[in-house]
Structure 1
Amino acid sequence: MTNTRVMVVGAGIAGPILAIFLKTRGYDPIMYERLPSPGEGGLSFVLQPNGLRVLSLIPGLVEQIPGYSADRMVHCSSLDGKEDILAEIDISPDAAREQFGFPFIGVRRAEFQRFLIDTAEKHGVEIKWGHQAIEYEQSEDAVEVTFANGVKDTASFVVGCDGLHSNTRIALFGKEKANFTGLVQFGGLSPTPPAFSGKFVFVNNYGNGRHMVSYPIAEDKYSWAITTRQAEAKEDWKTQHVEQQDEIRRGPLSDWGFGAGDLVRTGQGIIKYGLYDRPELKSWFKGRIVLLGDAAHPTSPHLGQGANQAFEDIYHLMRLLKKYNPSTGQPSTELLSQVFIDYQDLRLPRTSELVRGARQQGEVRVIEGIEACRVRNEKIRIGFHDEAARKAMSELLTGPFKDSEV
């Protein structure tokens, strides 16, 4: 008996993890990616305890992740010539493990993606590069996918993990207008600044109409991103021209305290990109095709949960496949509908709530006007003593399971 063939569209961050889970649970996944090779796009992100809890179900993976953990999280303000510490929290690996079960790990996106691709290939997952899915045709027991290069392939079912610009989403639900939020981010990688010498800190720096987040991704390197209000910029994450990078390095963003200015002045590979909203979907699947991660619930980056929520999607999709198809045999469309309905009914409300929370966080971070910023700063200072907020954060970071059902 041949294993059930599953097509994973997209080899970014979620796709390889899903493919590894499918392979190790008895399915036969194949991955298709529109890019010709692993990309260099994007900067970095933080793997949070809830995401790492899912990754820990793949033996040996968490221990090999190429990244770095901060020891403390600092919220500070550089406002009207005055520098102020608003809150300081112990997020060292030991403290995070004690509280949430897993640490926080800053990773460079391109390096982490290559690591996941290598891991998937070691598990025997086939990856086909340079294949852009453009057409999906469903039959009673399979899906035929046509690619832009004329290739066709068939699988029992398809999972669209093709990110923010998902062709799978367009094929299922049509093209949508992306709405510019009015916010733009600049970001880059920099040597560890003198202000952080001997310390590894995750810093949120708040200013008038701007916010910077920075954290270590290696022992000698920090990643940083600044959010501010500006004219619309494309979300292509391409490195700026040398002249544009120099303008940013010498501009007003380089004047911040708490090491922020040093990071900007020494920034390498600086990129600029707009932040956009997508309409919230009412459903994530049609027939034998389902969406996962950014393809289903693209989010602005202000909660740092994008990749971590994609991993939670993977956990629940695999859990439900095990529940309804324990034999891993060829599933009927009716069986898949039961899996996909339970999956979206659980995940759609949760991710929609987090997407809205990220948007609100972005607005708060770039609020303008000295007095309004002072009010914001005081709310941040008080917020870390708010029991309800602490409980919500703990519930988020200790998810998505206590005892795995996968």
Structure 2
Amino acid sequence: MAATKVIIAGCGIAGPVLAMFLKLKGYEPVIYERLAEPTTLGLSLSLQPNGLRVLSLIPGLLEKVAGQDLDAFALYSILPEDETLIAWSDQPTTYRELYGHPMKGVRRPAFHHTLVEHAQSQGVKIVWNHQIISLEQRDDQVVVGFADGATDVASFAVGCDGLHGNTRICLFGEENADYTGLTQTGGISPKPDFLTSKGRHPMTDLFGDGAHMIYYEVNDSQVSWALTRREPEAKETWRHIDEHMQEEFKEHGPCASWPFAGKEVAKSAERIVKYGLYDRPELKVWHKGRVALLGDAAHPTSPHLGQGANQAFEDIYHFVRLLVKHNPSAADPSTAILHAAFSEYETIRIPRASALVTGARKRGDNRVVHGVEERKKRNEKIREHWSNEAAVAEEYKQLYTQPFFGQSEI
């Protein structure tokens, strides 16, 4: 008997991971991607213990993931009236022992290529240059239509096509992405002497006047950085700004004189990109009939908690776990079986994802305050928060002990 076919929309970060899990469980996934090849766009990701725990269930994958383990949090004020270390935490050194995995900085294009190549080595079919524009649901299948007029048929489909994907539109109609009011300007730069002198690998935050920079290592010789500011809307294209604007930013931009390596990483960037930060209105359900959403297609988030990809991996874990629970044979499932699995998946995931989307937006807003008094209040709140080590440890425990509910296998 032929394996049950599943169409996955999108070959970004989530799509290949979902496909590998479905393949392991006896399904026949096919990924359709609108781009013609794996993208080189994007800067970096912070893979955290909850996300790495899910990836570890795919045989042979984690040892291929190149990156840098991060072993501290360092937070600095770059304000003239308060130019100092605000807080330092060694808690990341405990993550491997406590949660089984560290926090790891990776370059996004390299990580994406690793996922694509590993999925293909496991027999996952990826069809490039095919943009999904329609979904026709029938009693026992889904007919997927593409921009070039072609169609394909599967038992069910999953939208992993991100913030701007069509799967969500096909299910729930057009809606505007919500601009958060913040932009990020960022790049990849040589590792600064400031980090080399410490002999450590901290995730570093710099807090200024109406601006916040974060940088962290993504390999032995490079850091990824992003500067967040409140500005007029800038589209999320992830394309680099022109050479004149790059030079202007390096020489006269807001971090051109920042201490603690802020100036150094901005001036030495290979290229600089700028993009707006968006999320979308909360959905009450993530599926309709035989089609479900996960990752950014379901709950796009701003990056200030570093949980975007990690939450997509949690989605995948529960999606596949519940699919196995309700359809253990991996036979062609009825719509009723899919509804049961998808509904339980939503019950678990929507509250957690929604809370983290809200938390990410709040953290972004709190980082970029203006005015002397507001800046002082922000810095003092940061000091107070990080001085309570037990509370910080509990916060990360709540984040990183997911998603397994006391078990590690799907």
TM tier, shorter chain? over 0.9
Structure 1 match to 2:138? 139
Q: CA deviation at 1:403?
A: 1.3
Rounded to whole Å, the distance in 2 between the matches of 1:388 and 1:333 is 45
Instruction: Report the secondary structure of 1:255's partner residue.
Output: coil
Instruction: Report the secondary structure of 1:253's partner residue.
Output: coil
Structure 2 match to 1:72? 72
Q: Is the 8 A contact 2:91 2:393 kept in 1?
A: no
Q: Is the 8 A contact 2:57 2:409 kept in 1?
A: no
Q: CA deviation at 1:121?
A: 0.2
Match of 1:390 among 385, 390, 393: 393
Amino acid at match of 2:16: P
Q: CA deviation at 1:86?
A: 1.3
Matched, 1:217 2:240: no
Rounded to whole Å, the distance in 1 between the matches of 2:344 and 2:224 is 38
Q: CA deviation at 1:214?
A: 0.3
Instruction: Report the secondary structure of 2:256's partner residue.
Output: helix
Q: CA deviation at 1:201?
A: 2.1
Instruction: Report the secondary structure of 1:39's partner residue.
Output: coil
Q: Which range is displaced more, 177-186 or 144-153?
A: 177-186
Q: Is the 8 A contact 2:16 2:115 kept in 1?
A: yes
Rounded to whole Å, the distance in 2 between the matches of 1:248 and 1:70 is 28
Amino acid at match of 1:311: F
Q: CA deviation at 1:277?
A: 2.8
Q: Is the 8 A contact 2:70 2:102 kept in 1?
A: no
Matched, 1:404 2:405: no
Rounded to whole Å, the distance in 2 between the matches of 1:253 and 1:200 is 21
Structure 2 match to 1:49? 49
Amino acid at match of 1:390: A
Amino acid at match of 2:408: S
Rounded to whole Å, the distance in 1 between the matches of 2:100 and 2:381 is 28
Cα deviation digits, residues 144-164 of structure 1 (max 9, x gap): 001001111000000000011
Rounded to whole Å, the distance in 2 between the matches of 1:276 and 1:65 is 28
RMSD of Structure 2 on Structure 1 (CA)? 1.2
Structure 1 match to 2:125? 126
Q: Which range is displaced more, 312-321 or 171-180?
A: 171-180
Cα deviation digits, residues 293-352 of structure 1 (max 9, x gap): 000000000000000000000000011011110000010000000000000111011100
Rounded to whole Å, the distance in 2 between the matches of 1:396 and 1:304 is 11
Instruction: Report the secondary structure of 2:282's partner residue.
Output: coil
Instruction: Report the secondary structure of 2:318's partner residue.
Output: helix
Structure 1 match to 2:327? 325
TM-score, normalization by structure 2:
0.96
Alpha carbons of structure 1 residues 91 and 60: separation in structure 2 relative to 1, 3 Å: farther
Instruction: Report the secondary structure of 1:159's partner residue.
Output: strand
Structure 2 match to 1:2? 2
Rounded to whole Å, the distance in 2 between the matches of 1:274 and 1:159 is 26
Cα deviation digits, residues 229-278 of structure 1 (max 9, x gap): 11211111101111111111112312111111100011122100011231
Structure 2 match to 1:114? 113
Match of 2:279 among 277, 281, 296: 277
Instruction: Report the secondary structure of 1:326's partner residue.
Output: coil
Q: Is the 8 A contact 2:216 2:225 kept in 1?
A: yes
Rounded to whole Å, the distance in 1 between the matches of 2:263 and 2:73 is 18
Rounded to whole Å, the distance in 1 between the matches of 2:34 and 2:144 is 13
Amino acid at match of 2:137: Q
Amino acid at match of 2:272: I
Give the length in aligned residue pairs: 405
Rounded to whole Å, the distance in 1 between the matches of 2:382 and 2:57 is 35
Matched, 1:231 2:243: no
Match of 2:311 among 291, 304, 309: 309
Identical pairs, percent: 51
Amino acid at match of 2:230: R
Rounded to whole Å, the distance in 1 between the matches of 2:289 and 2:114 is 33
Instruction: Report the secondary structure of 2:119's partner residue.
Output: helix
Structure 2 match to 1:13? 13
Cα deviation digits, residues 90-114 of structure 1 (max 9, x gap): 255x532123221011111111100
Structure 1 match to 2:350? 348
Q: Which range is displaced more, 119-128 or 200-209?
A: 200-209
* Structure 2 portions without partners, runs of 5+: none
Matches within 5 A, 1:242-261: 242-251=243-252, 252-261=254-263
Structure 1 match to 2:37? 37
* Structure 1 portions without partners, runs of 5+: none
Instruction: Report the secondary structure of 1:35's partner residue.
Output: coil
Rounded to whole Å, the distance in 2 between the matches of 1:326 and 1:50 is 25
